[in-house]
Amino acid sequence: MLYFIVNEKSKSGNGTRIWKELHSFLEKYKIPYKAWTTEYKNHATLLARKICQKDDSDIRLIVIGGDGTIHEVINGITDFEKICLGVIPNGSGNDFARGLKLSGTPLEYLKRILSSTSQECIDLGKVTWSCAEKPHLFAISSGVGMDALVCKNTDTSRLKKILNSLRLGKLSYLMITVYSLFSMTTSNMTARFDEQEPQDFQKLLFTAVMNFRAEGGGVPMAPRATARDGKLSVCTVHKLPKWLTFFYLPILAAAKHEHLPGVHIIDCNTLELTLDSPMTLHADGEYLGDATDVRYECLPGKLRLIV
């Protein structure tokens, strides 16, 4: 059975038009399905949890929405053996689809899902932090510092909504990045990769823990990262004057930053971070709070996808 979770407000309300088109196609060809639309933040998590409780041995859960909706659904899945996920991306960033090299129109996505007879397993990340009630899963990335602050500021920005309506969402991300960089405070950090000896990072700007290569609408934080290797790829930028970091941004956007001074990229299975002052934390662009102690773990092949 096909189960749809639809965010009609994704991409400034464009989700309504897309769901209407896909709904008409499903009805025309009498394809059995059930669908729910999200009504508030984290509603997709509750819907995914409800779907997991169904007595159905063939649950194909299709998400129509952006990276935030996919993130909520993944955190609502209670039985990953029972669920096979399909995605029809319709967000401003669509880093999940980009990471899987998916392309096409929403109807083409749907037709591909309906005709598929195979599946693929990809890794997920898990993040636990001080004061968290429970661990949080992520599909694209998580991190502390500037990239997390950008996510927090973007989530509350009226500018993003305006530019999204003008199809200029990437411009809003760039503008908020510059603002966040010059308004943030740095922290000193100790990091332990895979139980090895701790490493110290002074004046931390950010640590981006990547499952896919890019976040924030295509920014390639970890150019060689893949969700199929059982590892997380960690990009840390530290001990740089903020004015110099500003000039790093074009190099980062071109994925040529790996060997720059102050940039440290390493792959690992687990990662423990200790900060001397709280920094903003995010997962898949969703603000989680401020934290001083954060632990990451890769969950190899955790999520089944319709391909």
pLDDT of residue 174: 72
Do residues 279 and 187 touch, judged by C-beta distance below 8 A? yes
Burial 106-120 (b: 16+ CB within 10 A, else e): beebbeebbeeeeee
User: Which tokens in the block code for residue 7?
Assistant: 């965010």
pLDDT of residue 83: 96
Do residues 209 and 105 touch, judged by C-beta distance below 8 A? no
Pairing type for strands 199-210 and 232-238 reads: antiparallel
Do residues 267 and 232 touch, judged by C-beta distance below 8 A? yes
pLDDT of residue 57: 83
Averages of pLDDT over each 10 residues, the chain, 307 residues: 93 82 97 97 97 92 96 97 95 91 94 94 96 92 94 73 61 75 92 96 97 93 97 97 88 95 97 97 94 98 96
pLDDT of residue 168: 60
Q: Cα(26)–Cα(28) distance, rounded to whole angstroms? A: 6
Residue 23's region, left for phi above 0, alpha for psi from -120 to 50, else beta, is alpha
pLDDT of residue 165: 62
Q: Cα(21)–Cα(4) distance, rounded to whole angstroms? A: 14
Q: By CB neighbour count within 10 A (0-12 exposed, 13-18 middle, 19+ buried), where does 46 fall?
A: middle
